[in-house]
Amino acid sequence: MDQTIPLKSGDRAELELLFDVARTLDKHVELRVALGPILTMIKIRWGLKNGMATLLNRATGLLKIEEAEGLTEEEKERGLYRLGEGLVGRVFETDAPIASKDLSRETHFLNRAKNRSREDMAGMSYICVPIRSGGAVIGTLSAERRFAEPHGEGEKQMANDKSFLEKVASLIADSAKLRERIMEEQFRLRRGGEAAGAKREPHGCDIFGRIARGSGIIGTSNALRDAYEMLKQVAPSDATVLISGESGTGKELIAAEIFRLSRRAGGPFLKLNCAALPESIIESELFGHEKGAFTGAVVQRKGRFELAHRGTIFLDEIGDLPPQVQVKLLRVLQERELERVGGAQTLKVDVRLIAASNKDLEKETREGRFREDLFYRLNVFPLQLPPLRERKGDIMLLADHFTEKYAEKNGKLIKRISAPAIDLLTSHTWPGNVRELENCIERAVILSTDMVIHAHNLPPSLQTAISTNTHPNATLQSALSRLEKEMILETLKTTHGNIHAAALNLGLTDRQMGLRLHHYAINWRAFRKPTV
């Protein structure tokens, strides 16, 4: 006869809490969204404070704080941990939990995200356990408990806390693994027909269409592969790279990939868009300034080059740098030294530069808008990115990737992209490149109401006469006449009825303008400004 062993009250409370943790994970589409409520439950119902969950960013190889009790978004952003760095990094490296009786005595505790005094941490136990998935550590889970006397019952409670956190970490890992399998299955079903005769693994691409394992670059087209092969060759060196390509082709993503594959991957990676800052402050942003160097400089400030010492700096839209800044940048590239604005001290810097521009810098140089000597210093290793219209085979891979990304972000389930929508996506010329495609998919995901992205969910700029059932019902000549009349009316509005100015704007003579006004029966006097 089977005998049922009654649960202790503590065992029942733990099981009920673990059940609620599992239910929370199941309820949220995005894993990261579920972590906040889970940490709150652990605090309220288990008594563990300052809970923190980190997850591995596969693109950078770093652990990032995804959720932490009591931390601001800015403080979470500071919480990055390398392999073996601090207690979190040690758990990540060794795949073994760490339990400390008194956090204030832990010299390896980085205290990076939120700076706390040793007094605040005195008597605080600390436990950090790995989150494992598929035999690999994908993150960590940690929490703290304050003890008046961390011995005897305190040690027993620490053992219970460690066991409990390991169970929660296991639930989180199972949830992460399940989500990954679902995404893989969705991708396989979507791409099954296309992938029937194509094997991506020999090329190093993963199931999500990334060009290489660990990379964030999506695509398998020959044009992208050629660029990526060049990237892999230059990445391990310290050579300056100049990335060229149309706006929206992913120059920043390529720069991040160069950094990821470089020998400087453990150092800082700083980014600056030269076109986003006014001329008055860009020099200070790059090279720093001394206190009192100009109005508002109340403290000394390090520039991006100083902060990127022994790392990499990425300057986007470098063609928009003012001439006086170009001179200082040239000196940094030649001499590896700089002076802060308003300073006299020469500072040595060890920085690798990756630059990007959607302008033709060679043409800019010929026309005197960009320094020739700086151009040749930047153009050590040019890397040209193909526009999306030359990567037609990558469009659906990217569309699938962005669909999954924004479905998860918006808490929606999108099962497929309809055939008419696929036709629209693959026939569009994509003047805005990957950025335009991403924006279109984000909009479509938001508008979808039946787990399918339809053609009508896509922006009007992608719609065709067939998809919208708006076939031309006029001759070419009548359509041109209508366009001509509209242009004349718009020009008369802007010139306030001045016929001569309107004719100049349209490239017509006064006589030609008069004939068209008569032909279309346009009353030009109606556009004059009223006199007071």
The residue behind tokens 């296991």 is 170
- CA 429 vs. chain centroid, Å, equals 24
Q: Which domains does the chain have, with CATH numbers?
A: 9-180 (3.30.450.40), 235-386 (3.40.50.300), 393-468 (1.10.8.60), 476-527 (1.10.10)
| Helical packing angle, 476-494 and 510-519, nearest 10° | 120
Q: Which two tokens stand for residue 532?
A: 């007071």
Sign of CA dihedral 357, 361, 363, 365: positive
Contact 372, 405 (CB under 8 A): no
From first to last of its 532 residues, the chain has per-residue pLDDT tens of 334 334 444 578 888 899 889 888 877 767 778 898 999 999 999 999 999 999 887 656 778 888 998 888 878 877 788 878 888 888 988 889 999 888 888 877 877 666 677 777 888 889 999 998 767 788 899 999 987 554 556 778 888 999 999 999 999 988 877 766 665 555 555 555 444 444 343 344 444 466 777 778 888 888 898 999 999 999 999 999 999 999 999 999 999 999 999 999 989 999 999 988 888 789 889 998 888 878 777 888 898 999 999 999 999 999 999 988 999 999 999 999 988 888 888 899 999 999 999 999 999 999 999 999 999 999 999 999 999 999 988 898 899 899 989 998 888 888 888 877 888 898 888 999 999 999 999 999 999 988 889 888 998 878 754 444 455 555 677 777 877 887 888 888 888 889 998 999 898 898 888 888 888 888 888 888 665 4
Contact 104, 122 (CB under 8 A): yes
Distance CA 361, CA 347 (A): 29
Question: How much is the pLDDT for 9?
Answer: 45
Question: How much is the pLDDT for 419?
Answer: 75
* Partners of residue 146 on adjacent β-strands: 124
For every residue of 206-264, DSSP letters joined together read -TT-BSSTT---B---HHHHHHHHHHHHHTTS---EEEE--TTS-HHHHHHHHHHHSTT
